[in-house]
Structure 1
Amino acid sequence: MYAILDIETTGGKYNEEGITEIAIYRFNGHEVVDQFSSLVNPERSIQPFVVNLTGINNQMLRSAPKFYEVAKRIIEITEDCILVAHNAKFDNRILTTEFDRLGYKYEKNTLCTVELSKKLIPDLPSYSLGKLVKSLGIPLTDRHRAQGDARATVTLFKMLLNKDTSKNIIEAAVRKNPKRQLEPKLLDFIAEAPSETGVYYMHRKDGKIIYIGKSKNIKKRLTQHFTSDNRKSKRIQLEVTNVTYEKTGSDLIAQLKESEEIKRIKPIYNRAQRKTLFNNQLTSFKNENGYINLAIEKSDGRKKAITTFTNYQQAKAVLFKITEDYTLCQKLNGLHKTKGSCFQYSIKECNGACINEETPEAYNERVNQFLQDKSYKNQHMLIVDRGRDVEEKSVVLIEDGQYKGFGYFSLNHQITNPEILKTLINPMQNNRDVQHIIQNYLRKNKKVKTVNLD
């Protein structure tokens, strides 16, 4: 018996993805005898490129069942089955990881239709599902949606079964589920770690720190490190002899501390994180007609940035929201390429700056209001967030747009008294990366408390 499946995910870091959609067809070698498909609320955001690829967005999943609500049905429909998927290693890893999060041991043997296709139908130009089924004349609707891709994989698998008349190839291609047994030292590290927010440090035998990370749940993140089979994780698993950690309570402080520690210590396995955290920035300029334009540009330390972004997709989404919130012009902000009026003007959500109908003075007043509201440059404030326990709060200090450091307090008068406040703050380095971290955190966490010190 086979369970032919396809899974769509949120994208993101390895072993941190969540399932957004799943489709499973129980197949007895001749016909489908049961089927199940559902959207799944992954309880995390979907990466923008995945939204573009699948069409599945966060709004669609708000009322969808969470994974634990469909887990029992998945176990039932895949009982006594070999899992079959196009790139089975990926789908099996995602499914196993979700069950791991529930504390359930889910182990199945797998068959990969990519591997089978290469053996039974050699010399094709591509073995991606879309191109493969097209070359074989297999209908495929709803590409990059779980049900459409799974249906196409059922038809493909039937064809592969027929081609393997002796069944030797298919039997040889069955992959036994690897026993994910961890070394006792790794199990000890996981057992001793807290399920709390903070920064963790991995040490080798001589005490040297080889990796620094941060997580909202240190225990969960260490489990991901120690069960991952990518090359870097395997090296860390071999070398690590001790794990220490520091609880921060606040995810913002964890990010800031991780960034500073990586730059200072330069651990061997943090090479990628030593690079700049952001690739794009938002800047402004006045055009020939006197209108202030907002523009997304590649990161450039020589130019003053209003704010920074991890990638272009994030920058574009935020600029669309700014344009909408302040009734600005999509054409002037580079979001609508046109020689005439922008789309927003046609639906009366732009006042006509794109065709010089609104005066530069009136338009620029709203742009300047945005710059005053959002610009980091002259901010003088405290960011108050969670502490390390219920009686404590954390605080991040910004003076004249410069990050000064962080600290913790338990009494309100401690942060309203400037002299006491300065004794609570641990001084930290200000740089463009930490400014990006703070701006990004404030963008994503609208409810976080800020105290203006002007």
Structure 2
Amino acid sequence: MYVVLDIETTGGKYNEEGITEIAIHKYDGHKVVDRFISLINPEKEIQPFVVNLTGINNKMLRTAPKFHEVAKRIVEITEDAVIVAHNAQFDYRILRTEFRRLGYNFERKTLCTVELSKQLLPDAESYSLGKLVRSLGIPVSDRHRANGDALATLQLFKLLLSKDLDKTILKNVLRNETHGELSPRQLDIVEALPSEIGIFYVHSRDGEIIMLGKSNNIKKRINQYFINSGPKARKIQKETKRVTYETTGNELAAVLKENSELIRNKPKYNANFKRRLFSHGLYKSINEHGYISLTAQKFDPKKNAIATFNSLIGAENFLYAIRDEFQLCNKVNGLSQAKKECSHYAESKCLGACIKKEPVERYNNRVEECIKKYSMPSNDILILERGREPGERCGILIKNGIFKGLGYFSLNHQINNVHILESIITPMDNNENTRHIITSYLRKKRDIKILELKS
């Protein structure tokens, strides 16, 4: 017996969403034998983008039943049945979360039509529900409403069952109790974690850190580890006794702390903690006519890179960006093989360095401005970012071009007094990865506040 269902939610933070609508069709493999469709009052506001997507608004739900009023009906209709949904992991997690709030441990086996479709329809261009059913000629109405999507999923499931001639795929994909379902202990661990950015630490029975990482949503990331069925994930799940965390308030602090603590703790399931985070660099040289040339190359530790990148394409894209920003020359920077002037000269975007028309000194001054802007800052600065709570700021300290560490401040005099500032900063290693992290972050973020420090 199967129950094909779809759930609409309020949106919002991971594991804090509320159900706004649910549709369940009980299917015995031949026909629908029962159904339950209802709006749900989530007792919280719906995110505006969800209102625009589904058409369900707060006013519509004021008189709808609350989840605890329909919970018994959901338990009964899904009893002894396999839950079928498109991206079943999402719908099942939402249901389990709602039941857990009521103090009930809701457990069912699940089957995901996304996974089934990838195996039985390997040539599909997309596995999103809307595009997939349209490509199969399955009619769908009320898209992004629970019953419309549930009915489309039901028709898709019927088609997939007919394609599974020897039934082996269904047997293999059908999840057992430990696949895709969290144990009560794992649920307790996830429940205690925040849906915030920071670092998580996975501990073994003896307290050893066996894995750590940065995440924009700690709760969501650990939940994903617990439901992953890969061999490495299985080992982590088996050894995990506890998960601790540290929120950072912003991405830069999270990435810097992850880089520093991986090196210090060397967790056994973070095998790549020693790896270089970049592969290519931007290098400066003087061409035969005296113009400064900036070229993208594979990283060479013996040379001084102006900036570092994850790929050659990333480095070259940056060259194109600074070409437009500083009116640099494609030919001088090796992006054009033109025998005479580069193509941008005719558009007045290049001032003629390619044909030795622009004075060398004037061109090189702009290149030096560019290098200064995008290199590791050489002066004493504090990069100010969001803190962990309202009224708090995070500061990343750089002195004489060297990363010193980071700290959190709530009072201006803590920042303005260098001695107090340095006493609050948590020291961290300055290495090629931290320089890459900081310069990459500064390149990509346009609204960062940087405070120049006075000794």
Which range, TM-score by smaller chain? 0.5 to 0.7
CA drift at 1:357: 2.2
Give runs of aligned pairs for residues 122-271 of structure 1, distance below 5 A: 129=123, 150=132, 154=136, 169=165, 171-174=167-170, 175-176=173-174, 180-271=180-271
CA drift at 1:255: 1.1
Rate the CA distance shift 1:114–1:355 in 2: closer, same or farther, 3 A.
same
Q: For the residues of structure 2 that align with 1:247 and 1:148, how far apart are their CA atoms?
A: 37
* Cα deviations by residue, 1:29-54 (Å, 9 ceiling, x for unpaired): xxxxxxxxxxxxxxxxxxxxxxxxxx
Counterpart of 2:401 in structure 1: which amino acid?
A: G
Query: Does residue 1:330 correspond to 2:354, yes or no?
Result: no
CA drift at 1:381: 0.7
Rate the CA distance shift 1:208–1:348 in 2: closer, same or farther, 3 A.
same
Rate the CA distance shift 1:329–1:152 in 2: closer, same or farther, 3 A.
farther
Which residue matches 2:74? none
Q: For the residues of structure 1 that align with 2:204 and 2:360, how far apart are their CA atoms?
A: 61
Rate the CA distance shift 1:372–1:167 in 2: closer, same or farther, 3 A.
closer
CA drift at 1:343: 2.4
Which residue matches 2:19? none
Q: For the residues of structure 2 that align with 1:304 and 1:101, how far apart are their CA atoms?
A: 51
Classify the secondary structure of the residue corresponding to 1:261: helix
Rate the CA distance shift 1:269–1:92 in 2: closer, same or farther, 3 A.
farther
Which residue matches 2:388? 388
Which residue matches 1:320? 320
* Cα deviations by residue, 1:128-162 (Å, 9 ceiling, x for unpaired): 739xxxxxxxxxxxx7898998599649xxxxxxx
Contact 2:126 2:132 in 1 (8 A): no
Rate the CA distance shift 1:231–1:171 in 2: closer, same or farther, 3 A.
closer
Classify the secondary structure of the residue corresponding to 1:289: coil
Q: TM-score, normalised by structure 1?
A: 0.67
CA drift at 1:342: 2.0
Q: For the residues of structure 2 that align with 1:72 and 1:235, how far apart are their CA atoms?
A: 43
Classify the secondary structure of the residue corresponding to 1:334: coil
Rate the CA distance shift 1:177–1:334 in 2: closer, same or farther, 3 A.
farther
Q: For the residues of structure 2 that align with 1:272 and 1:194, how far apart are their CA atoms?
A: 26
CA drift at 1:260: 0.8
Contact 1:393 1:409 in 2 (8 A): yes
Stretches of structure 2 lacking an aligned partner (at least 5 in a row):
5-47, 57-84, 100-107, 138-159
Classify the secondary structure of the residue corresponding to 2:189: helix
Give runs of aligned pairs for residues 30-69 of structure 1, distance below 5 A: none
Structure index of larger Rg: 2
Which residue matches 1:452? 452
Which residue matches 1:364? 364
Root mean square deviation of aligned Cα: 3.7
Counterpart of 1:365 in structure 2: which amino acid?
A: N
Contact 1:116 1:170 in 2 (8 A): no
Classify the secondary structure of the residue corresponding to 1:272: coil
Q: For the residues of structure 2 that align with 1:281 and 1:310, how far apart are their CA atoms?
A: 9
Stretches of structure 1 lacking an aligned partner (at least 5 in a row):
4-64, 74-90, 118-127, 131-142, 156-163
Give runs of aligned pairs for residues 401-412 of structure 1, distance below 5 A: 401-412=401-412
Q: For the residues of structure 2 that align with 1:70 and 1:339, how far apart are their CA atoms?
A: 54
* Cα deviations by residue, 1:264-307 (Å, 9 ceiling, x for unpaired): 11101111233111111111111111111111121222111111
Counterpart of 2:199 in structure 1: which amino acid?
A: V
